[in-house]
Amino acid sequence: MTVLRTPNEQFKNLKDYSFKENFIEFKIDNDFVRMHYIDENSQSKDVVLLLHGEPTWSYLYRHMIPILVKAGKRVIAPDLIGFGKSDKLSKREDYSYEKHVSWTSNIIKELNLNNITFFGQDWGGLIGLRLVANNPDLFKGMLLANTSLPIGKGTSLGFEAWIKYSQTVEVFNSGKIIQNASLRKLTDEEVDAYNAPFPDDTYLACARQFPTLVPVKPEDPSVNENIVAWEVLKKFDKPVLTIFGSEDPVMLGQEKFFQNAIPGSNGMDHQIIKAAHFIQEDQPELLANSIIDLYN
C-alpha cells in the first residue's frame, strides 16, 4: 500500500473555502494516514455531521457551513480517505465499503462526538447510515438527500450508466462530473476546486473504485452488513427527513425506502426539490435551513 498526500499548493485560494484545516491520524495496515476535517464553532454542543460522496469532498458544503454556524451549530465535515485534503491510497484494491465505514468512524471516536444531526448524500449516506446504525444513541436526527442503503436487490438505469462511465472514461474529470450532475452552472474556479485533490491519475484510485463497491447484487460484499444496519434503522424513532432532487436519475425513488422503514420519518415534511444529484450545489440554503428546522 502506498499513501499519497495531495500537495498543499493544490488547495490555495479556493473560492468560498477558507475553513481551518484539522486532521486526525490513524493506522491502515502498517502506514499512518491523515483524514482532514472541517470543525467550525467547536464550542457548541449541537453537532452537525456532513458527509460527502463521490467524487466530491468537503468543498461541497462550503455554502451550507456558514448558515449552520450562524445558527449555533458545531459543523464537522470530513474528507473521506481518498478525497479532498485527506490522504489517498494508490491501489483500488486498498478500498472497500467496510474499510470506509471503519475509517470514517474515527472522526466520531477521536472528537468524542454525540448529540449529532447527520446529513448524508451519495456515499456520505451509505457510510453515515452505517455509523448511525452502529451507534444510534450518539445521533439525534438525520437529513438524507440523494442517497441509499442498498442490500443487493438491483439498481437504477441511472446508476448502471454511471458504473459504465466511471469504469471506462479515459479522463476522470471530477469537476466535469459534478457539473454534469448539478443544475447550477459552476464557475471555472469551482470546477478547478473539485479537481484540486487529484493532481494526476495516481490519486484517483478511490474515485474510480467507489462505484464498484455499491452492493447492488446479492453476492456483493457488505450486503449482510447493510441488512443488519437496516434492522437497527427500523427502530430509529428520532426525526428523519428526506430531501431528494427531482433531476437525480440515480437516487430518485430511494427516499421511499427510508420513509417506509424508519419510524422517525413518520409525519416529517419530506420533499422532492428542483435539484440534480449534487443537491448541495443546487439548493444549499434550503438544505442548511432544513437541518436547522429539523426539530421544530
Give the range among 7-11, 92-96, 117-121, 156-160 with minimum mean pLDDT: 156-160
Residue 253 pLDDT class (50, 70, 90 cuts) = very high
% of the chain surpassing 70 pLDDT: 100
Residue carrying C-alpha cell 499548493: 9
Question: Which grid coordinates belong to 73?
Answer: 451549530
Question: Which grid coordinates belong to 212?
Answer: 464498484
Q: Using alpha carbons only, what angle is made at residue 77 by residues 250 and 149, rounded to the nearest 5 degrees? A: 35
**Active-site residue, from 79, 94, 122, 282:** 122
Kindly report, residue by residue over 34-61, the tens digit of the pLDDT: 999 999 999 999 999 999 999 999 999 9
pLDDT of 65 above 90: yes
% of the chain surpassing 90 pLDDT: 95
**Active-site residue, from 269, 277, 282, 293:** 277
Q: Tell me what pLDDT residue 68 has.
A: 98
pLDDT of 218 above 90: yes
| Euclidean distance between CA atoms 84 and 99, whole angstroms | 18
Tell me, what amino acid is at 88? K
Active site residue 270: no
Active site residue 282: no
* Strand partners of residue 78: 37
pLDDT of 214 above 90: yes
pLDDT of 6 above 90: yes
For residue 57, what is the domain's CATH number?
A: 3.40.50.1820
Q: Which domain holds residue 59?
A: 3-292
User: What is the value of pTM for the model shown?
Assistant: 0.97
Active site residue 201: no
Q: Tell me what pLDDT residue 60 has.
A: 98
The structural domain count of the chain equals 1
pLDDT of 265 above 90: yes
Residue 155 pLDDT class (50, 70, 90 cuts) = confident
pLDDT of 156 above 90: no
Start-to-end C-alpha separation, the chain:
48
Residue 154 pLDDT class (50, 70, 90 cuts) = confident
Average pLDDT over residues 89-106: 97
pLDDT of 8 above 90: yes
Is 204 exposed, middle or buried, given 0-12, 13-18 or 19+ CB atoms closer than 10 A? buried
Residue carrying C-alpha cell 455499491: 214
Mean per-residue pLDDT of the chain: 97
Q: Tell me what pLDDT residue 40 has.
A: 98
Three-state helix/strand/coil letters over 168-181: HCCCCCHHHHHHHC
Residue 1 pLDDT class (50, 70, 90 cuts) = confident
| Euclidean distance between CA atoms 2 and 17, whole angstroms | 29
**Active-site residue, from 248, 270, 282, 293:** 248
DSSP of 8-40:
GGGGTT-TT--PPPEEEEEEETTEEEEEEEEEE
Q: Tell me what pLDDT residue 266 has.
A: 98
DSSP of 93-154:
GG--HHHHHHHHHHHHHHHT--SEEEEEETHHHHHHHHHHHH-GGGEEEEEEES-----SS-
Question: Which grid coordinates belong to 152?
Answer: 443487493
Nearest one of 95, 21, 91, 10 to 58, comparing CA atoms: 21
Question: Which grid coordinates belong to 126?
Answer: 451509505
| Euclidean distance between CA atoms 264 and 187, whole angstroms | 38
